[in-house]
Structure 1
């Protein structure tokens, strides 16, 4: 329904712009400026909802220097999408979005066809004409629409008008032709077809035609006099035409036109009133075209830890995209976006704490929106059109998605994969996601890249980096080196890594080599508890060196 939202935004713009015209500009005698205001604001009404500006505002995240009592923080799990089951007896539901769109297009197309038909009926009279000295093409016509013009074609009834009145009328129609007023009417016919449901667009058409006549009346009366020109308007008032594409000499209300002829001219200082429209334009741009994006700016920790932002306690984890080393996408190697597709692995028992094997937890996607979804219950395969899906820290936007729930794989075509902070984006004709391992591959016409690595040793190292989670806190103080690579915790220091928990009087966490040094150390994992004078824990290898250990606990 994005098309409907767009048209509603256009409608709001036209209402506000036209309301401003009625309040401030309608009685001004700057007819040419009023004409361009009406046309310009109509075009702006269609442009403003299309243009998109993004303003980024950062919210600062600072470190906690003192210990804070925090309850148990459970890892966030994405919600498994609820997918429909196929029922052979079920009747297809009515897609109201498509029905409304079809009705709108049908009405708009009909109105455009009517406009073209009227244009055809008008142009069929233009085969024979007489050209005068001013470049007007005079067409003699005694019935139907007469004493009117379409561009430089003037349809005139020569039998009921004197030569003096003819000169005035031709001068009036010459102004219409030279100012291209008929082009404005053609534009309004298109706008009315698109916004046929918007009553304000018909008011725009009426007021714009009125401004055309005021402009032509003003220029013509300067050469013939207001009184003589007003008498001619009254004389020809009885001959009117309903052809919407032409400018009839007396089609608009004669009373209003005569009043405007004798209306005092607006002072030039009143042109400043047009500047009052600028706040309206700015407000609509801010309302419909500007999007404010809030991004977290980390003032301290990058690899995890206890943080506070605007009085709220936050935890970061090591699989933040900004912290995983990787090379650029153009090189055909791993992009930083790859890291976001891995889920934090949880160690199941104390026996696995110091092992070299880490199995990633399957990723659970979360469907945000889609246009159409159908599925096969037997194969557990689902087909989604115009899908938006969150996969851990990334958002997938694809024209077509095949979700193989049985094998936990996703195939996305014509898709864009971007991080939720919008700092990394990959576009590809084909994405393949293995949700069991948390990896993906992206294929383009020129190359293939992704997060799948066939080398077992390199893959193991990558998974260690991507799946670790480190949280820590200290009672006395937390100090971080300038390069943010060394974190020192003093006084009842605590550091947790998956199910491994370390505590001691002092903890030094070196993020560069992924080692943790603990003094007066206690290490727990499940039911296992070890005390030592000091220990060194290697996050990469999951191995620990103990000094002065007490193995009785």
Structure 2
């Protein structure tokens, strides 16, 4: 989840910065609309994209436990010498955080639904008039024209007295015909789920401003009287209220909108600006999506720098086909079950968190004879040939350490949590169900 949030947020930030730097001030509004929406979709999809780079030389890696130089105590598993059961202390912070997130998201979802229903309720409770594929909803309250889906909400008295200028009808009809409300509903739905991401609020403002650029452009093309339209907007400014999920006539009535009404952008310039997206996307893919299979051995990574170690038997057929294509002489089997992937997260020489992956073309069960006697003792509690994943992490808390020292004081002598790690083994038990066991390891 953390990886998803980091990658998606970084992508959103880069693409939004690119928009403000290159595109916002140019008259290429239709492209800008789909750029902003595409940037959001791409940013959310990016964390799920992995570009794996395989090397020609394959490391002769030993098992992940041996190369990590972590020692398993024979009394570490759940069952101690006296036969008592050790139950690890539950960390309540993640549950509390998810509970807070769930409550806030639920409340925002309720508000989102209520806001949507309020527009339909207004349309149902007030008289409507069909006009050019849209429906005018006549309200008694003093409001400026605003649009939601194919409904245009206007003041009833102004409509009956013909006080609403044709330019305003054109403006709102543009919102209806170009379906701008769908964009707003999309960004509002994202804000409901990812309410903690401030970039979404900037995206919404940019999307709504772009909608106004599009509507203004249509009015200018229809009336060919820019000055009159600008004066009309100034006259209507600060009249009535605005609605967060509707297209409002005077949204962001700033200097930007007035400048854009008279601005032109050549097709050549627009084309060159669009081409600038390609290198940015390429760089982001290289930085955020590329996973390199390292040439060096796992043992080349300093054990004290390792943060997490994962051995995963869930190898896809596509990965196996890529491995066999890159190294046909080494990866001979076509069966994904004959391979395992080791992913190592560690602190590099610059102090940054790095991740490397290593593929092994033999099973954990085949390595059983090469394991140390202490590791064999630990794995005797689980069927080795049924192991699906093995994870070693150095995130032992002081509270957990105090608990295991109390149960087996002669094994755990150090009082420093950094001297310990946790190994979680996920496997298939005798009944065919997924099971897991926790072991504490001492460096």
**Shorter-chain TM-score: what band?**
0.5 to 0.7
CA distance in structure 1 between the partners assigned to 2:96 and 2:17 by the alignment:
32
Residue 123 of structure 1 aligns with which residue?
Answer: 120
Partner residue of 1:362 out of 376, 388, 404: 376
Residue 112 of structure 1 aligns with which residue?
Answer: 109
Cα deviation 1:103-158 (Å, max 9, x = unaligned):
22322222222111111222101114433341110111132654111111011114
Residue 19 of structure 1 aligns with which residue?
Answer: 17
Partner residue of 2:44 out of 33, 39, 46: 46
Residue 171 of structure 2 aligns with which residue?
Answer: 172
1:429/1:329 Cα in 2 relative to 1: closer, same or farther (>3 Å)? Answer: farther
Pick the structure with greater CA Rg. 1
Counterparts of residues 118-517 of structure 1 (less than 5 Å): 118-127=115-124, 128-143=126-141, 145-160=143-158, 163=162, 165-224=164-223, 225-262=225-262, 264-271=263-270, 272-294=272-294, 337=363, 340-344=366-370, 362=376, 364-365=378-379, 367-369=391-393, 398=426, 411=429, 429=433
1:412/1:198 Cα in 2 relative to 1: closer, same or farther (>3 Å)? Answer: farther
Partner residue of 1:80 out of 49, 65, 72: 72
Cα deviation 1:512-553 (Å, max 9, x = unaligned):
xxxxxxxxxxxxxxxxxxxxxxxxxxxxxxxxxxxxxxxxxx
CA distance in structure 2 between the partners assigned to 1:140 and 1:61 by the alignment:
74
> Residue 291 of structure 1: SS of its match in structure 2?
strand
Report the alpha carbon displacement of residue 221 of structure 1 after superposing the two structures with TM.
1.5
Residue 97 of structure 1 aligns with which residue?
Answer: 94
Residue 352 of structure 2 aligns with which residue?
Answer: none
CA distance in structure 1 between the partners assigned to 2:377 and 2:79 by the alignment:
22
1:14/1:257 Cα in 2 relative to 1: closer, same or farther (>3 Å)? Answer: same
TM-score normalized with structure 1 length: 0.53
Report the alpha carbon displacement of residue 181 of structure 1 after superposing the two structures with TM.
0.3
Residue 492 of structure 1 aligns with which residue?
Answer: none
Q: Is the 8 A contact 2:128 2:135 kept in 1?
A: yes
Report the alpha carbon displacement of residue 41 of structure 1 after superposing the two structures with TM.
0.4
1:163/1:430 Cα in 2 relative to 1: closer, same or farther (>3 Å)? Answer: closer
1:248/1:76 Cα in 2 relative to 1: closer, same or farther (>3 Å)? Answer: closer
* Contiguous gaps of at least 5 residues in structure 2: 61-65, 298-328, 338-360, 380-389, 409-421, 438-443
Report the alpha carbon displacement of residue 20 of structure 1 after superposing the two structures with TM.
0.9
Q: Is the 8 A contact 2:146 2:246 kept in 1?
A: yes
Q: Is the 8 A contact 1:38 1:204 kept in 2?
A: yes
CA distance in structure 1 between the partners assigned to 2:90 and 2:279 by the alignment:
46
Report the alpha carbon displacement of residue 255 of structure 1 after superposing the two structures with TM.
3.8
- Which range moves more in the overlay, 123-132 or 172-181? 123-132
1:295/1:150 Cα in 2 relative to 1: closer, same or farther (>3 Å)? Answer: same
Report the alpha carbon displacement of residue 412 of structure 1 after superposing the two structures with TM.
8.3
Counterparts of residues 504-543 of structure 1 (less than 5 Å): none
Report the alpha carbon displacement of residue 257 of structure 1 after superposing the two structures with TM.
2.0
Q: Is the 8 A contact 2:212 2:251 kept in 1?
A: no
Residue 417 of structure 2 aligns with which residue?
Answer: none
Q: Is the 8 A contact 2:135 2:152 kept in 1?
A: yes
Cα deviation 1:73-121 (Å, max 9, x = unaligned):
x999763165589999999554222222222232222222211111122
> Residue 343 of structure 1: SS of its match in structure 2?
helix
How many pairs are equivalent? 342
1:77/1:134 Cα in 2 relative to 1: closer, same or farther (>3 Å)? Answer: closer
Report the alpha carbon displacement of residue 432 of structure 1 after superposing the two structures with TM.
11
1:254/1:239 Cα in 2 relative to 1: closer, same or farther (>3 Å)? Answer: farther
Q: Is the 8 A contact 1:108 1:196 kept in 2?
A: yes
CA distance in structure 2 between the partners assigned to 1:170 and 1:432 by the alignment:
65
Cα deviation 1:241-297 (Å, max 9, x = unaligned):
2321111111222543223212x2111112221221222212222222221113579
Q: Is the 8 A contact 1:240 1:250 kept in 2?
A: no
Q: Is the 8 A contact 1:111 1:193 kept in 2?
A: yes
CA distance in structure 2 between the partners assigned to 1:412 and 1:10 by the alignment:
41
CA distance in structure 2 between the partners assigned to 1:22 and 1:106 by the alignment:
34
> Residue 54 of structure 2: SS of its match in structure 1?
strand
1:295/1:155 Cα in 2 relative to 1: closer, same or farther (>3 Å)? Answer: same
1:107/1:9 Cα in 2 relative to 1: closer, same or farther (>3 Å)? Answer: farther
> Residue 251 of structure 1: SS of its match in structure 2?
coil
CA distance in structure 1 between the partners assigned to 2:130 and 2:97 by the alignment:
51
Cα deviation 1:471-520 (Å, max 9, x = unaligned):
xxxxxxxxxxxxxxxxxxxxxxxxxxxxxxxxxxxxxxxxxxxxxxxxxx
> Residue 342 of structure 1: SS of its match in structure 2?
helix
1:336/1:47 Cα in 2 relative to 1: closer, same or farther (>3 Å)? Answer: closer
